[in-house]
Amino acid sequence: MRSIIILTLLGFAYAGSVQADIVARYAMGKETLTLSYRDDQHIRVDRGQLGYSIINGQQAIAVLTQSGARVVMNVDDVGDMINSAQEGQAIVVPDTHEVSLTPTGQFSDVAGIKGRVYTASDGRAKYLAVLTDNAEVIAASDGLRQFFRRFASSMKNERGNKLIALESAFKDQQDRGVLQVEGGFKLIAIEQQARPANYYTPPPIGIQFPGQ
């Protein structure tokens, strides 16, 4: 359930040009996740040695590293694989009305940014979340929401639809920039950085081996 709240909180030029994009690094459990966000049509999420994923217009591509090979897949195909693997499993996704945020009256600094502490509830568990109205953090969080929304939509089933619907629980929240969620998600650093246009261009679909 906690991972669903994290995803919910997390909300998604011509060649050769560059502009300042938002680059945010997060600790997610033992993993470091790096978001590069230009706009809703240009998003990249890097997961270190595990690979990365890109949204470029209508394209949504996952690039995975497995046994030295690089596997490039369309997320709609990944969604089909997830559905097949989870067929018959009971996965409980909370409805929107079960999700709530309650301010505690406390504040906390994360990555040098002041945030307000909330109690988040999904109807089954409660835990703390630090949220902010900082514009850069909001933009990064909205980028992650857009990213995860695209992956949820690839599921093309009731579970995916419920994940997308959960977003409405937070769309009017003033402090919707996510700094930290108890249990394994925390902003490490955020900045504006110029990314070249081809940074958001995915490689061709398929499997590539070293030396190819």
Top CATH class of 2-12+18-85+94-198 equals mainly beta
Q: Residue 39: which pLDDT band, with cuts at 50, 70 and 90? A: very high
- Structure confidence by residue, pLDDT tens digits, 54-112: 999 988 898 988 777 888 988 877 655 545 444 544 445 555 567 778 899 999 999 99
Q: Where are the domains of the chain?
A: 2-12+18-85+94-198
- Structure confidence by residue, pLDDT tens digits, 126-180: 888 899 999 999 999 888 888 877 766 655 444 444 445 555 566 677 888 889 9
Q: Residue 104's pLDDT is what?
A: 95
- Structure confidence by residue, pLDDT tens digits, 176-203: 888 998 888 899 999 999 999 899 999 9
Asked if 170 contacts 8 with a C-beta cutoff of 8 angstroms, the reply is: yes
Cα 9 from chain centroid (whole Å): 9
Q: Residue 152's pLDDT is what?
A: 66
Class of residue 112 by CB neighbours under 10 A (exposed 0-12, middle 13-18, buried 19+): exposed
Q: What is the DSSP string of the chain?
A: -HHHHHHHHT----TT-EEEEEEEEEEETTEEEEEEEEETTEEEEE-GGGEEEEEETTEEEEEEEETTEEEEEEHHHHHHHHHHHTTT-------GGG-EEEEEEEEEEETTEEEEEEEEE-SS-EEEEEEE--HHHHHHHHHHHHHHHHHHHTT-SHHHHHHHHHGGGTTT-SS-EEEEETTTEEEEEEEEEEEEGGGGPPPPSEEE-TT-
CA torsion through residues 190, 152, 120, 186, sign: negative
What is the C-alpha to C-alpha distance for residues 79 and 117, in angstroms, rounded to an integer?
34
For the cut 60, the answer to whether the pLDDT of residue 119 exceeds it is: yes
* Mean pLDDT value of segment 9-32: 69
